[in-house]
A and B are shown apart, each in its own frame.
Chain A
């Protein structure tokens, strides 16, 4: 409904524009332009529709392949629609590897990462946005500059550090660093905090509230939408992380879904129906999250581009 409103508003504006500014002698010309605009919009629509089929086709293919029999997967030419819908592929794929264990492990890690990211980055961002102190701009420049450092430069020393701490084959290396903030989220939340009027915080301070109290009671609730964005992004990051678990986890009982899928690929090699079923199950939470919390994804992008 909203879109049609938008559309009519747009057309109204166009009409107004034409009647207001265009002398009568030019009207015929403008009419011609209007037709051309309509042609353009139809062309645009067709292009978008064709493009979205192209964008969606890999996902449909994944779904279709996951339901095919092995004979059909290997048949040539391949088809977009499975002959028989083998839903049992999903059960077989799930049971072919300890996916239940992997899921529990992944949820465990992801939960801690999300909590750490939300709490730590919100805390740090409050400091940068709402407390004046000497050296703030230097520290904020350091925050931003850490975004430029390629991850692999610090990866090897971090590995040596964590292995000296005896943390290899535990979840600590995958979780603990997230409790110390990360540049992108600090930046994002600071942008959001900037939109909260300082008077609100000044008033609370007059009442004798400490910054901890203000952060907890005012900062956190008022930045909920931005925190949701951080939660979703960090969920996505932890859920899809492959490098970290690959480096730090050796014991198969500790494996995450991403590692599990890689192992699964090694075992099944070309049994694409099971591989696609497994992959789709691993992607499903992210797809669902996207459809339910789309606006927080988009908000994150907009905030990172300068807080519009």
Chain B
């Protein structure tokens, strides 16, 4: 009996590995292998045609010490992340708290607010380029109604990044649904108790809703930070096919890396860039994880 059980378990083990085999193969072929290759390549002058010559830390050195465009691209990206992550988080929480009420037509509202989140790609970028046209676009038309003289958006280096953040805000629907789901999971008893105690709506929101959804806020902040650092497609299209926009104000990190790798074929250089990005994202995620216990509230956890 014991022996039979053992062979059963071994058989199960083999089956298990057969089932996850596609992932394992893909992991080595498309993730782990490339990861190691790019780490090794980042210490060479590889440019696709030549051999790989080992150049030590030269790529890293010239990126950090000499390359002004590298600094510009890093600055642009940090700017974008620093504004887009808090704004989209606050926006999504705000909208989902409105959608978490009993008002007529709430189902339709939820659908409408989610719709932009599923739309992406070049069509959407072109749409926003037209919306943001200073003279003939919709955004400045609407701003004009309330007496605001709209900026030149994608033509003004100071306003290009806010343009992209505005576009991002339009599509907060995805994380909004996450918040909505978690708000609906908050026990009604908490609100009823607060209501009887005479706590205002606003107090309830800040003292019950927000603490209860902190795990989702944490998840959203981590993933949208990682995502924000990788902004590429919209910048490529909206800066005129990868040129970086006025005064390089849309030259984001990945866009510069793309130009180095696939326009100038400085592959080694670009791979060094990619590893710097990896380290930045990794460190930020670790910091986020370390800070989490200070503000993220998990139910059933001892305070």
Contact = CB atoms under 8 A, between A and B. Distances in A.
Given A45-B104, A152-B274, A283-B119, A51 B138 contact: no
Contact of A131 (B19, B131, B267): B19
Contacts of A179: 22, 26
Interface stretch (B59-67, B79-87, B122-130, B155-163): B122-130
Interface stretch (A84-92, A139-147, A220-228): A139-147
A156 B39 CA distance: 11
B16 A243 contact: no
A70 to B, nearest CB: 11
B23 interface: yes
Contact of B278 (A17, A149, A261): A149
Nearest to B16: A133
Contacts of B31: 146, 149, 154
Given A133-B13, A157-B38, A44 B30 contact: no
B56 interface: no
B121 A305 contact: no
A94 to B, nearest CB: 14
A16 to B, nearest CB: 11
Nearest to A177: B30
Contacts of A290: 115, 118
Interface string B30-56: 110111011001000000100000000
A180 B22 contact: yes
A132 B17 CA distance: 10
Contacts of B264: none
Given A58-B127, A132-B16, A240-B121, A6 B102 contact: yes
B144 to A, nearest CB: 7
B112 interface: yes
Interface in A126-173: 126-128, 131-134, 136, 139, 142-143, 146, 148-161, 163
Contacts of A247: 262
Contacts, number: 266
B7 interface: no
A124 B23 contact: yes
A276 B138 CA distance: 13
A283 B104 CA distance: 29
A153 B30 contact: no
B216 interface: yes
B141 A180 contact: no
Contacts of B99: 48
Contacts of B95: 51
Contacts of A287: 115, 119
A259 to B, nearest CB: 8
Interface residues of B, number: 99
Contacts of A291: 111
A297 B115 CA distance: 10
A203 interface: no
A192 interface: no
Contacts of B114: 294, 297-298
A22 B198 CA distance: 12
A186 B20 CA distance: 10
A160 B46 CA distance: 11
B275 A153 contact: yes
B6 to A, nearest CB: 13
Interface string A41-75: 10011011001100111110110010000000111
A60 B267 CA distance: 43
A89 to B, nearest CB: 14
B261 A156 contact: yes
B156 to A, nearest CB: 18
Contact of A283 (B14, B48, B124, B178): B124
B275 A78 contact: no
Given A58-B170, A133-B15, A150-B226, A272 B130 contact: yes
A99 interface: no
Contacts of A128: 19-20
B23 to A, nearest CB: 4
Interface string A1-12: 011001100100
Contact of B241 (A127, A266, A305): A266
B25 interface: yes
A14 B76 CA distance: 51
Given A52-B109, A78-B137, A160-B37, A258 B122 contact: yes
B83 to A, nearest CB: 20
B181 A10 contact: no
Contacts of A47: 98
Contacts of B282: 148
B281 interface: yes
**Pairs of residues from A and B, 5 with the lowest C-beta to C-beta distance, nearest first:** A180-B26, A127-B19, A133-B16, A240-B121, A157-B34
Given A78-B136, A131-B15, A161-B33, 13 more contacts: A73-B136, A152-B274, A161-B29, A180-B22, A180-B25, A180-B27, A211-B15, A262-B241, A272-B133, A279-B123, A283-B123, A298-B114, A305-B219
6 contacts: A17-B192, A127-B20, A160-B37, A243-B233, A265-B237, A297-B114
